[in-house]
A and B are shown apart, each in its own frame.
Chain A
Amino acid sequence: AQSVTQPDIHITVSEGASLELRCNYSYGATPYLFWYVQSPGQGLQLLLKYFSGDTLVQGIKGFEAEFKRSQSSFNLRKPSVHWSDAAEYFCAVARSGNTGKLIFGQGTTLQVKP
């Protein structure tokens, strides 16, 4: 069965420090992978996506993610975190077929220290 795991429930980093959020997936074929961000009380906003091609994808707000098939991972990174990046981050994989159903990880809450 397809699944997505985000091993870190909560991460705290200092403003200006680098960030890496982990995501591992279980999927039989080439996956469609996504990272979404949710600010408190808000809906989900797409940060970036991977469908095929270059395994390093750039997103909005200075985020990037790298697809590593050998490790079944799609980790999200940012070189320098800003206080406004404090939010909950979700990794998701699209199921096979054309229904487009997404399977989400449990989410990682990012806290940014001043």
Chain B
Amino acid sequence: NAGVTQTPKFRVLKTGQSMTLLCAQDMNHEYMYWYRQDPGMGLRLIHYSVGEGTTAKGEVPDGYNVSRLKKQNFLLGLESAAPSQTSVYFCASRLGGHEQYFGPGTRLTVT
């Protein structure tokens, strides 16, 4: 099993550009999450999904959209990137217990 994978690993965007981050898991997990990690702030939840076809807002959803068309994939979109979205983005998944499994992260820089 590959576990949780994220694509791409690194990306540099200009302000106003759009992009999609892909998270994939091969563990048949129901729940998936997108977090952002900023220095001194830990991880903050952006959006999450409790199952295929469902999404919900987390703590810091503004400027992001998500989709969960397939159970194994959870996409995070930035429609118009801003420098404040420079961060490291982590995806996580879980089955039914509370333990979450994390991907390796995507480092995004917006100039």
Contacts and interface: CB of A to CB of B under 8 A. Distances in A.
Contacts of B50: 98-99
Contact of A100 (B40, B100, B104, B105): B100
B99 A44 contact: no
A43 B6 CA distance: 11
Interface of B: 4, 31, 33, 40-45, 48, 50, 56, 58, 90, 92, 94, 98-105
Q: Do most interface residues of chain B lie in helix, strand or loop, or is the interface mixed?
A: strand
A104 B44 contact: yes
Given A36-B102, A49-B99, 17 more contacts: A4-B42, A9-B40, A34-B99, A43-B90, A43-B102, A43-B103, A44-B43, A44-B92, A45-B102, A49-B98, A90-B43, A92-B43, A99-B48, A100-B31, A100-B94, A102-B43, A106-B40
A43 B104 CA distance: 4
A9 B99 CA distance: 24
A9 B39 CA distance: 10
Contact of A46 (B40, B43, B99): B99
**Which interface class (under 10, 10 to 19, 20 to 34, 35 or more) fits A?**
20 to 34
Q: Which of A49, A98, A100 is packed against the most chain B CB atoms within 10 Å?
A: A100
B45 A102 contact: yes
Contacts of A36: 102
Contact of B102 (A4, A44, A94, A100): A44
A88 B105 CA distance: 15
Interface of A: 4, 9, 32, 34, 36, 42-46, 49, 51, 90, 92, 94, 98-102, 104-107
Contacts of A90: 42-43
Contacts of A102: 33, 43, 45, 100
Contacts of A42: 104-105
A100 B32 CA distance: 10
A98 B43 CA distance: 20
